[in-house]
Chains A and B, each alone.
Chain A
Amino acid sequence: MGKLIVVACGAGINTSTMAEDSIKERVAQEGFSDVEVKRILMADIDGFLGRTDLIMVVSMMKIFRTFNVPVFQGMPFLIGSKQEKDELLDKIVEVIKKV
């Protein structure tokens, strides 16, 4: 079964694209072939929470609720230095490997 990562933002216009790009690039580098990175609106997230292949939520906003999968705040993708970005990507890769 594939592994689904959703990148959620408020408008689905700009910020989630930046995170999606970075994660996809790293996923390709690591050679994961079963990982899907999907950009969504936070308002639509409930439709994804029930999916059994969901392994992670990356949020571009502050979250005022809890989820049953690991959640990462994706701000370093927008404003982080290369090092901060790589640290976050390392954590994400770790989760992908563990599942």
Chain B
Amino acid sequence: MGFLSTAVGWFLGLGSSLIVMIVLILLGLVFRVGWQKAVRGGITTGVGLAGLFLVVNVIIGALQPAVAEMATRFGLAKTIVDVNWADAGIAWGWPGVAGLIVSILVVNILMLVLRLTKTLWTDVWSYWHGSALAGFVWALTGGNVFLGILAGVLYLVAGSLMSDMTAKKYQEFNDMPGIGVPCGTTVQASLFAMPVVWLLDRIPGLKDWDASPEGIKNRFGLVGEPGVLGFILGAIIGIFAYGTGTGDLGITKILGLGMNVAVMMMILPRMVSIIAEGIVPITMSIVQYMRERFKGREIYVAVDCAVLLGHPAVMASSVILFPLLVLVAAIMPGVQMLPIASLAVVPFWAGAVVPYTKGNVVKTVIVLLLYAIPFMYFSTLTVDAHTEAFKMMGQYGDQIGQGLKLGSWDMGGDILGFFIQKLFGLFG
């Protein structure tokens, strides 16, 4: 026993990049992707994870002093730093990730065999939503890996049931027979949209109100560029934090913050993409294997929510939503995080809503403005477990010790995830 706990302790002490490298190489060998692809995949994902944490470090260094300065100047209690997809770092780096991947695969196969779901969840990448939540619960329960995995599986099972309810609509609207999208906060947006759109369709005047997606794209398309959006938001926060400073009235600091936020907006998704790249061989191997096993049955094969982004109304709605959402989060009392990095999830939500609004921009905007409100509050309410998860993984310990708090909409503000966290908090 002594040897075992020493070995486990040594393994966990390697840090998340090396852990995920070893875990993915082993999983690659188990799922027979070939040892070359397994090694390459493991190292790639490890690199992506390390890169992700580097970028987050840059943004913490830039944003934390700025939000603190805003707080002292205006008493604005918006001090949580938004790191959004840094949660993918928790998802792939927390100690239970391998257990979660294997568990959800087994549970999914059982559910398919028992005909409890039609969703074949082979897209290993999109397990990350459940795995991030699992990481929060792991932190919440003082390091209980088993409860973490249980919470993650529960969340992903709910995801496959929601995918069953939405798959037909996604398939028709996007011309993609056979797909399903069980992704976290995206598929929940569809469920939310169903009753709201029904209601909007019964309000005279609103029913037929629309805006041309192409016109919006041509006029405001620039704001949809992550770098540009980041620069603008960073500079605006900079004005509140450093405007009228000494010397050049704070202009150096304002522009500097704009650039740093632009860096985050462009580089964070790239890092996430490197993490995903390493997982691809495992996904492809599982897809092939499972397709053979479930031949001749109606099945929705799970794919990433990115496939929903095709319609022009998606980006048009998003560029309108970006400033509105920041404004709403700024004035809502009790909301302690200004969304910046989290805005990146908005197009995915829009992709899940446009099949229900039939591409109507106005209705999509209204649905998502309402949908975002719980995210604003839940991301504030879950911030302690969220921050603790980063700390327990050995990230940003010093800054967290000095009061840094890290939050996100996707997954920190997740509606279903919030209630699962509350449930498992009872065991903590």
**B391 interfacial by beta-carbon distance below 8 Å:** no
| Inter-chain contact B179/A79, CB cutoff 8 Å | yes
Could you tell me the distance in whole angstroms from the C-beta of A27 to the nearest C-beta in chain B?
16
| Inter-chain contact A79/B301, CB cutoff 8 Å | yes
Within 8 A of B (CB), among A78-98: 78-82
Cβ–Cβ < 8 Å partners of B303 in chain A: 15, 75, 78-79
Could you tell me the distance in whole angstroms from the C-beta of A67 to the nearest C-beta in chain B?
14
Cβ–Cβ < 8 Å partners of B110 in chain A: none
Could you tell me the distance in whole angstroms from the C-beta of B294 to the nearest C-beta in chain A?
10
Q: With A60-B307, A61-B306, A63-B310 given, is the CB distance from A21 to B280 under 8 Å?
A: yes
Within 8 A of B (CB), among A19-76: 21-22, 42-43, 59-64, 73, 75
Cβ–Cβ < 8 Å partners of B273 in chain A: 11-14, 17
| Inter-chain contact B287/A10, CB cutoff 8 Å | no
| Inter-chain contact A43/B307, CB cutoff 8 Å | no
Q: Determine the residue in chain B with the shortest Cβ distance to A59.
A: B310
Cβ–Cβ < 8 Å partners of B277 in chain A: 17
**B309 interfacial by beta-carbon distance below 8 Å:** yes
Could you tell me the distance in whole angstroms from the C-beta of A87 to the nearest C-beta in chain B?
14
Assembly CA distance A61 to B307 (angstroms): 5
Within 8 A of A (CB), among B156-206: 173-176, 178-179
Cβ–Cβ < 8 Å partners of A80 in chain B: 287, 291
Q: With A12-B273, A13-B306, A60-B307 given, is the CB distance from A81 to B288 under 8 Å?
A: yes
Assembly CA distance A64 to B214 (angstroms): 11
Q: Tell me how many residues of B have a C-beta within 8 Å of chain A.
A: 41
Cβ–Cβ < 8 Å partners of A12 in chain B: 269-270, 273
| Inter-chain contact A22/B284, CB cutoff 8 Å | yes
Assembly CA distance A60 to B315 (angstroms): 16
| Inter-chain contact A10/B307, CB cutoff 8 Å | yes
| Inter-chain contact B306/A78, CB cutoff 8 Å | no
**B349 interfacial by beta-carbon distance below 8 Å:** no
| Inter-chain contact B312/A64, CB cutoff 8 Å | yes
**Binary per-residue interface labels of chain B (338-351) against chain A in the complex, 1 for a CB within 8 Å, 0 otherwise:** 00000000011001
Classify the secondary structure of B's interface with A.
Answer: helix
Q: Which of B225, B306, B347, B348 has the most CB of A within 10 A?
A: B306
| Inter-chain contact A64/B310, CB cutoff 8 Å | yes
| Inter-chain contact A10/B269, CB cutoff 8 Å | no
Q: Determine the residue in chain A with the shortest Cβ distance to B217.
A: A43
Cβ–Cβ < 8 Å partners of B315 in chain A: 43
Assembly CA distance A60 to B351 (angstroms): 14
Q: Determine the residue in chain B with the shortest Cβ distance to A76.
A: B178
Q: With A43-B315, A81-B291 given, is the CB distance from A62 to B310 under 8 Å?
A: yes
Cβ–Cβ < 8 Å partners of A10 in chain B: 306-310, 347, 351
**B384 interfacial by beta-carbon distance below 8 Å:** no
**B311 interfacial by beta-carbon distance below 8 Å:** yes
| Inter-chain contact A61/B276, CB cutoff 8 Å | no
Cβ–Cβ < 8 Å partners of A81 in chain B: 288, 291-292, 295
Cβ–Cβ < 8 Å partners of B288 in chain A: 81-82
**Binary per-residue interface labels of chain B (252-285) against chain A in the complex, 1 for a CB within 8 Å, 0 otherwise:** 0000000000000000011011001100110110
**B304 interfacial by beta-carbon distance below 8 Å:** yes
Residues of B within 8 A of A (CB): 122-123, 125-126, 173-176, 178-179, 224-225, 269-270, 272-273, 276-277, 280-281, 283-284, 287-288, 291-292, 295, 301, 303-304, 306-312, 315, 347-348, 351
A-B contact pairs, 23 of them (CB 8 A): A9-B306, A10-B307, A11-B273, A13-B269, A13-B306, A14-B125, A14-B126, A14-B306, A15-B307, A17-B276, A17-B280, A18-B280, A21-B284, A42-B310, A43-B315, A59-B310, A60-B307, A61-B174, A63-B310, A64-B312, A75-B303, A78-B287, A81-B291
Instruction: Name the 8 nearest CB pairs between A and B, nearest first.
Output: A10-B309, A61-B310, A79-B301, A62-B310, A10-B306, A11-B306, A81-B291, A14-B304
19 new A-B contacts, CB < 8 A, other than A13-B269, A73-B176, are A10-B310, A11-B309, A14-B304, A15-B304, A15-B306, A21-B281, A22-B284, A42-B310, A43-B315, A60-B306, A61-B306, A61-B307, A62-B174, A75-B176, A75-B303, A75-B307, A78-B123, A78-B287, A81-B295
